[in-house]
Each structure stands twice: as C-alpha cells, then as structure tokens.
A and B are shown apart, each in its own frame.
Chain A
Amino acid sequence: MFVKTITLTLCLASFLFGAGGSFMSKNSPLFSDASAKEAIGELIVSAEVKELSKSGEYTEVEFIGYQPKDSAVVYEKAGVLIVGLEVANAGALKVIGEKTDEYGTVWLNVSMKGFVASSALGKDKGSILKAGKELFGAKCGTCHALHAESEFDANVWPSILDAMGEQAALSKDEKYSIMKYLQNYK
C-alpha cells in the first residue's frame, strides 16, 4: 500500500508537471527532435508551453495557440497580436479546433510539438517579463520620454515597436522581450 501511494504521488506529480505552466525565458528554436538539427519554428519569449518529456539537454514541449488561416505566426490568444510561435511551415500545425470572433475572423486553434533547449524554459513568467521591463526602460526612454506601459494596448504595441525598432536597431530578441512585457502589463 505504501508503494501504491508513492506511485500515485509520482503519477500525480507528472500529471501536474505535464499540465503546463512553463514559459519560454527567451526566443528559442523549436526542433523536430532532440538532435536539434532541424528547426521547425521559433518559440517566443514568455509564451506558455506544456512540458512533455526530457531528452538530454532538450525538453519536448507543446505549444497551443491561435492561428489566422495560412499565417506563419501563431498567437497566444485569439484576437490579440501576442506572438507565441513562429513556424517555418504553416501547414505543419495541428488543427485542434476553430473559433470565429465577433468580426467573423476565423481563428484556428492549433498545436505544435517539438524540442527546445531545457535552459530556455522557466517557471516564473513574472521574472521573465521583468527582463523586458529593464530593456524597455533602457532602450525606449533615451531618445524621447519613456511612454507609460498603458499608453497603447497589447494589439498596438507590435506596430509601435516595428517603427521604433528600426530607429533603435532592436534585435528580434530585444523587440520581443520588450513587446511581451508591454503586452502583459496590467
């Protein structure tokens, strides 16, 4: 009976483990397998993933999000431009559902599995976003006054950062880190 309890506890633990709640601590390539030879996409900082298994220094994860038809970009939620995953091949996403918003736009609920470096995963979304906050202050308040986080909403920050990113020569990593902080700000 003692053994059964332990087994049950372990199963419970791995169920909780598999229930998600892991976050990308930085932009990372998503590989088709643990040999990390073929990148099938890139997971974006602060995106939530479900850890499925481990293989050496890589973790198999699943990302679930929303994709406008044919888009190579998958968003964390339907209707808001919060990027979770960029894929090399839009057709490689597994469609698990569909949702039509009040404007008639069809969002495909999609899933993608793959391997990421385990070092790119974290459990505390808050501290991941905090790095973006630092970068926001460092990069975005030097040429002009630092804007309030609430000045634009989550849907608008991407286009602001596109324009300003050119001015400030933000790298992709920097831009996403700042963007995710601003988009998640409450």
Chain B
Amino acid sequence: MTKKMDRRSFLKASGAAAGAMVATVNAEAIPLVGDSILQDGVDGVSASHFGAVTTKVRNGRFESVEAFAEDRYPTSLIQGLPARTYAQDRILYPCVREGYLKNGYKSDKSKRGSDKYVRVSWEKAFDLIADELKRVYKNYGPDAVYGGSYGWFCVGSLNNPQALLGRMLGVAGGYTSRTLTYSTHAIRAITPYVTGGDESSNQQTAYPNLIANSECIVFWSSDPINTNQIAWGVPDHQSYDYMKQLKAEAKKRGIKFYCIDPVYNNTAVYFGAEHIQVRPTTDVAMMLGMAHYLYSENLYAKEFVEKYTSGFAEFKAYLLGDGEDKTPKTPEWAAKICGVEASVIKMLAKEFVSKRTMLMGGWGFQRAHHGEQPHWMLITLASMIGQIGLPGGGFGCAYHYSDGGVPAPAAATGNPLSDVKMGNGSQGTAAGADAPAASPGLTGISVNSKVDGPWKQRKIPVIPVSRIVECLENPGREILFDGKKLTYPDLKMAYWAGGNPFHHHQDRNRMIKAWQKFETFVVNECFWTATARMADIVLPATTEQERNDITKSHTNSYIFAMKKAVEPAGEAMDDFDIFVNILRRFSAAEVLAFTEGKSKMEWIKSFYEESFNKAKKSGVAMPLFDEFWEKGFVKFETPEAAKNFIKYKTFRDNPVTHRLGTPSGKIEIFSKKIAGFGYKECKGHPTWFEPMEWLGSSVAKEFPLNLVSPHPKYRLHSQLNNTWLRDLEEVQGREPIWMHPKDAAKRGIQNGDVVRIFNKRGQVLGGAVVTEAVMEGVVRMQEGGWYDPKEPGKIGSLCVHGDVNVLIADIPTSELAQGNQATALVEIEKFKGELPAIGIFKAPSIKGA
C-alpha cells in the first residue's frame, strides 16, 4: 500500500535534501497548496540598477516584483529580476572545464568554449583557485594576476563583487587592476586637459534651470530618455519627471530641440526634435564647420573666448587653414565629410548663438577612433557660443547618465560648522539651516582592508581597461598613455567577478585567441554568459534578491534595504563567502584582514551606522537600523538651492578666484601639455582625424554600411538578455538591426528577415528592422546581445544571435586615452539556408550534473 503523503512529510521530502538531488533550478519540488498559494511569503524590499522593488515571494520562489512606490518612472527592466533568477542558464554549482580539471594550467586553452564542464564540490573549487593563485604568485609575482574585473555587476554596499575581488586578491598577494572605463575612456582622459575636470562625472546645470531658461536643447550623440532607465546606483528616475516638465514647458515657450545623431533616437521621438543626420564619427568635422562659420561671420563670443579660454590663436590658425594642413574648415569642407549640408551647418551655428542653447554631449561619439576629439571640440564650440556659466546655456556631458541634472540632496557631511563656504575652497555644502535637506550618503566595503599586514605595502599597477587584449598579446611592451609610459605586465591568470568581458570587449575573435594566454581563468557568475562559458573554473554566485545588503539611489535621495527574499538557487554562494573560503586556504590572518572580524549583517549595519552618525551631526533625522530595515528605505530631501545649480557659474563670475584646474586656469582650446606629448593621433588642439574606417574611407568600398552600437532599451548592456524581455525586441530570436529602406532594398532585405552582418573581423546574425529612423548608409544594432557562436570555441565562428562586438575593431582611440571604439564598417546580406538554433540561454553540457 502506498504511504499517503501528509503535509509534514511532503515538506520534508521537498526540502533541501531532496533539492540537492534534483539540482536544476526549475525542478526542485515546489510545495503545493498549503505552503504556497494563500500563504505568500512576506513582501520584501530590494533594489537593482533598474530601480528599487517590492519582492513578491510564493512557493519559496521570488515570483514577481512591484516597483518601489516612489519610483518616478518604473521601467520594465525590473521584471527581469525574478525572470533571470530562475532562468535556464542559471549556474547552480561549481564547475571546472574538463580539460582544466585533467591538466590544470597546462590545459589546451583552445578548448575553451567547446569543452564540457564537470561539476565539482565547493571545496575542490576553492582548493584549485587558492593553489593556482599561490603558484602564480610564486612563479610570476602578483602583477601576473589580473583582477580588473570590469563590469556593471549589481548594487549593494557589501556584495560588490569588484571591490570584494580586489580586497581578496590584495590580501592574498596582489594583482594588476585597470583604469578608466569602456563608457568614458576618452572623455575622462581628455576633458581634464580642457576644463580641469572630468566632464563625464561633474555636475550638470540643474533641470529646473534648463526648464526656465533654455531656448534650444541639442541632444548630440545622447539619448537620456533611454539610458536613464538604468543607473550606477539605484535609479529613482527623477530625471523622467523633469523631462516631462521640459516637454510641457517646451510647448509653452517654443523650446527647440535638435537630435544630432545618425539615428532618430528615443529622446528625439519624445521631444519631437529636428533630426540632423550626421555620419558616424564625423561630428568633429561638423563642429569645425560651425566654428569656422561663427568666426568668419563674426558671430562668435569674442569676449568669452578672450577672458575664459586659452589657446584660441593656435586653434584659429588650424580652423582657417593657416596651419600645417592648409585646409580651411569651412561648412562646405565639413559637409563633404559629415554628410550634413553646408546650409544646415550654418543654420545650426546661427541658431545656437542666437538662442540660449544647452549642448548635451553624450558618450557615443567618444567611443570611436580619435574619441578624444569630439568633447574637446564640443567644449571649444560651446566657448565660441559663449554661454557657458549662463542660466540654461553651455554644455553638459552627463545628462544621459544616472539622473544627471537632477537636483539632489546636499551632502550631510557630519560637521556643518566647518562646511560653511569660504572663498572657493572645496568643502561639503552645509544643509539648509532650518530643515536639513541633505543626505549622508552610504559607504560600502573597501577594496583595501583596515587591518595591518603585508598587503598595506602592495602597489596595485593598472592598465587602461580596454587594452586588455593588447596586453595579453604584448607582455612587456611599453605603450604611451596619457602623457606617461606604461609597460604591459605578463598576465598569467585572471579572475572575474560581476562582469562580462566577452560582451563589452571588442573584436571577439581576436579576443578569444588572445585569451588563450591566461593559464587560468576563474569566473564568479550567476548565469552561463559568454564569459562563464570561456572560464576554466566557474563559481555560482547569488543574485541580489538571494542575500541581504544595503544600497542607495544614485541621486542620494534614498537609502534602501536589500532584504534576502529567497534561498539561493542550487548551491549559489555570496561572493563575500566565496572569497573568505579562498582565503581560508591562505591563513587566518588573511581571512581576518578580509572580514575585519565582522559578519555580513554586521557590515551592513556598520554602513548604515556611519550614515546615521553623519546625518545626526548634520541635523538630519534617520530612523534606527531596525526601523529602517523594517520599512525598507529612508528618504532625504533636496534643498531649493540645488534646483538652480548652474555649471561653471562661479568660474564665469570670477575666472581668477575660481580658476579651472588647467595650467592656464582657463578652458584650454590649445593645450601645451598635450602638444608637448608629441602624439601622432592627438595634437595640441581639437583636430579632425580621418577614422580608420568610416563612410568616407576606402574600406567603405568593400564594407559600405556604418554600424553604430548604442546602449540597448531592454537591457543594461548584456544584463537581462537571458529573460523574456528580449522577446519584446528580437526578430526571429536575433538581436534586431535597423537598416534604412534604401539600403535594405538594394540587398533584397525585408523587415523581419534574418541577415548576416560581416566584415574582416567576423560575422553575426541579426534580425532586420527596416526603418527611416536610421540614416542611409548607417545600420544600428544595440550592444549587449549575447555572443552565441555556431561552433563554440572556434575562432571566426558565426555568432547566430547578434553580438555586435564581434564586428568592432580593438584599435585604441589614440595615445592619449588608449580607449575603445563602438562603430565599424560592415556589409549585410540576407541569410540563406537553415536558420541555426540559438545555443545560449541554457546551461552547457555538464558532467556530474
């Protein structure tokens, strides 16, 4: 007779023990009625790069989310959080590549990507990693371990994989790290020479000030409506409130919007902007044409240029054709290059000087060959327009990023008395006297331990982040970088946690080959991404909702609790614990240095306490930790003063007492420093350089379409591609590629066709979307579609899904930034034959599963 199940024995059978035997994320026995429906888990609070959320738990599962009630414009991306937690490509247990398990660091690296995986125990995985670190440290030294681990990982002050990895490696023996980012490689390198600061991160003129004063707003290579969905911290989407207000005001006052871009983007659509179709990577020529017109018509702001800039005379010689190249940069000269008619170039120049104009420079055009030039030239143009420091005028290069331009709470720094402004010194802004509208911010775990030990003396060398492949190909080579010389280390091992280099790095085929130099490649990941599939050792990490943490909104308006909603899937472990376990294989001293004797919850409480104490000293009220943890968030107010912040107003008011951090103290249109470097690809003033491949080059004969790769709409780079959100956009299961009707017709391609996109670097499939939103000669494919090689591990294989970085060159911007590119020339044809199946979004073959 069959034993009848009762509730107790059912729960016992479907508990952890049973789960371990059927270790797939979907097939763990789910309680039926009784412990699921009508006995839902308690709603919790969590957060992500897409927004803060209420987590809904049923059946022991994180089944859905609701947007945080105060999110000003919740995005669909938060739906990806539950979706990806149980995606079929969730990594459930530690795995080692078969060849690596057999032969260790002597394995055949060419088998990466095609080798099967073998499930191993956590203990085995930790042993392998610790032994390998020790071997590499002993034989090659700490510089041989690459711990740059670039990527966007997750939010959370404690479980920050990048910081934790650096902390672990720093304590274990050292590592090589990286500098700059794939987002801002060029702008962050060049703008310090021009304005003495980093224009990718300094404050923008506040939206309320734009709304009240701007007459003309230009989205130049910028798509804030799209990219403000996500943020480096947690987005509260206040920028969307302001963009709505701006649109309403535009109707009333007749504010004019321009979108200068090869593509009519989301922002252009929303504001009804006039589209100026500029050929990719030719914006500098267009701006030079405008500058020439302003100068020759005597429309430029002569007094501003004299008083606030340095080096106009040298630039002028170049502009007028009195320089080396003897070429006047007239609107007609510019038109031939950029594809914008001379009459339009002149019209725009006239428009921008006669109206109060805000030039919103995005980061797309600096992700290109000679990417240092566009922002330098944009700032030069803005100087000639002369409205920098005026209400609603000038330029801003971060409106599209993480709620830039949104007035934010002042900094509650904990000592209001010393924070009163004196002179132009840099100090924290005091909160408003009556009702402190300030936030103490929120700290997180540091890459450096407070505990004393040999790690304190270690120097961590860096390489420019986008030069990783070049470094692998050329150990010991000396390169020029930002006015200095740098020697590439001889890397033997890499550890990545919370990043996806086999998405964000360019020239995929070249990369696969170069990566073979790593004797060992370890990856902490939640999902079988293209990167995980190239790893020797893969460790399953928990997701944000499977652990406790604490975080804040990017604007500092909120601190959020991140409460563990569900148990980790499979054997997933927090990165924090993974690293502690590796250090256990070293000694107790290393473990103590890493943990500082604190449990995870103690760390979380300590971050909150630091903020609490700072806030208290500044007169800002915050609840005690337990009350905060219960409620899920604390809110901070924004002072009125923040709403009228004008970028560079103090500089404009007095450029002597508020001089910029440049040698001249002014905006450097000519930089003696850069000129002194003697670089071939970056001169002393903004210069038009012909890109290595562009529509006007000879390469265009064979590859006549210019590919641009903007940030996606339904992803954060590559994050969330493994969820149903991709179905909102994919075409026959491939990443969409936008083509102009004329280009499509020429090739017999129709809307919805699968197409092969190729050049000398590689080939990918995509799904054609035929639209006039993209200009003729240009094709647009979002970055982040997961690499899916038809023959995994084979260099040159067709990517059947649409990883655009297969096609982009890995050639640096110039000797200055050594940055990355994001455009390429390609050809496209309709795909013939049987459509290959999508191979990713599920686990690879695993032995012992």
Contact = CB atoms under 8 A, between A and B. Distances in A.
Contacts of B448: 134, 137-138, 141, 146
Given A68-B656, A73-B657, 10 more contacts: A72-B422, A79-B663, A83-B426, A156-B661, A159-B197, A159-B660, A162-B202, A163-B197, A163-B201, A169-B411
Q: Pick the most buried of B166, B414, B446: most chain A CB atoms within 10 A of its CB.
A: B446
B661 A155 contact: yes
Given A71-B656, A137-B447, A172 B428 contact: yes
Contacts of B203: 163, 166
Contacts of B233: 143
Contacts of A42: 418, 422
Contacts of A155: 196, 661-663
A42 B408 CA distance: 28
B36 interface: no
A73 B415 contact: no
A22 B677 CA distance: 37
Contact of B423 (A73, A157, A165): A73
Contacts of A41: 422
Interface stretch (B23-31, B89-97, B155-163, B378-386): B155-163
Contacts of B428: 165-166, 169-172, 175
Interface string B220-241: 0000000000001100000000
Given A166-B411, A179-B426, A68 B657 contact: yes
A138 B444 CA distance: 8
Nearest to A70: B657
A134 B203 CA distance: 26
Nearest to A136: B448
A146 B449 CA distance: 13
Report, as a range, how many residues of chain A touch the other chain.
35 or more
Interface string A135-173: 001110111111110111101111111111111111111
A103 B443 CA distance: 41
B366 interface: no
A71 B411 contact: no
A8 interface: no
B419 interface: yes
A159 B193 CA distance: 12
Contact of B664 (A86, A103, A134): A103
Given A83-B425, A141-B448, A158-B661, A165 B198 contact: no
B665 A105 contact: yes
A107 to B, nearest CB: 10
Given A150-B484, A165-B411, A176 B659 contact: no
Contacts of B415: 171-173
15 contacts: A73-B424, A83-B426, A141-B447, A142-B445, A143-B233, A147-B179, A148-B177, A155-B662, A156-B196, A159-B196, A166-B408, A171-B428, A172-B413, A172-B425, A175-B428
A164 B556 CA distance: 12
Interface in B426-463: 426-429, 438-441, 443-448, 450, 460, 462
B425 A103 contact: no
A159 B661 contact: yes
Given A144-B232, A158-B661, A161-B426, A173 B418 contact: yes
B424 A71 contact: yes
B201 A142 contact: no
A81 B445 CA distance: 30
A130 to B, nearest CB: 10
A90 to B, nearest CB: 8
Contacts of B445: 142
B654 A70 contact: yes
A176 B410 CA distance: 18
Contacts of A148: 177, 179, 460, 462
A69 interface: yes
A142 B203 CA distance: 20
A10 interface: no
Nearest to A27: B418
A33 interface: no
B411 A145 contact: no
A92 interface: no
A90 B661 CA distance: 21
Question: Which 4 residue pairs across A and B have the least CB separation, nearest first?
Answer: A72-B423, A142-B444, A159-B197, A169-B441
B162 A145 contact: yes
Contact of B447 (A146, A164, A176): A146
A70 B656 contact: yes
A100 B820 CA distance: 40
Contacts of B19: none
A176 B426 contact: yes
B491 to A, nearest CB: 17
B446 A103 contact: no
Contacts of A163: 197-198, 201-203
A162 B627 CA distance: 32
B310 interface: yes
Interface string A40-57: 011010000000000000
Interface in B146-179: 148, 150, 157, 160, 162-163, 166, 177-179
A24 to B, nearest CB: 14
B412 interface: yes
Contacts of B202: 159-160, 162-163
B584 to A, nearest CB: 24
Contacts of B446: 137-139, 141-142, 146
Contacts of B611: 169
A87 interface: yes
A62 interface: no
A87 B162 CA distance: 42
B614 interface: yes
Given A71-B424, A170-B411, A176-B426, A142 B160 contact: yes
Interface string A86-107: 1110100000000000010100
Interface string A117-132: 0000000000000000
Interface in B459-473: 460, 462
Contacts of B150: 145
Interface string B643-666: 000000000001011011111111
Contact of B426 (A103, A105, A147, A162): A162
A176 B157 CA distance: 24
B192 interface: yes
Contacts of B666: 103
Contacts of B614: 169, 171
A134 B450 CA distance: 8
Contacts of B656: 68-71, 105
B457 to A, nearest CB: 12
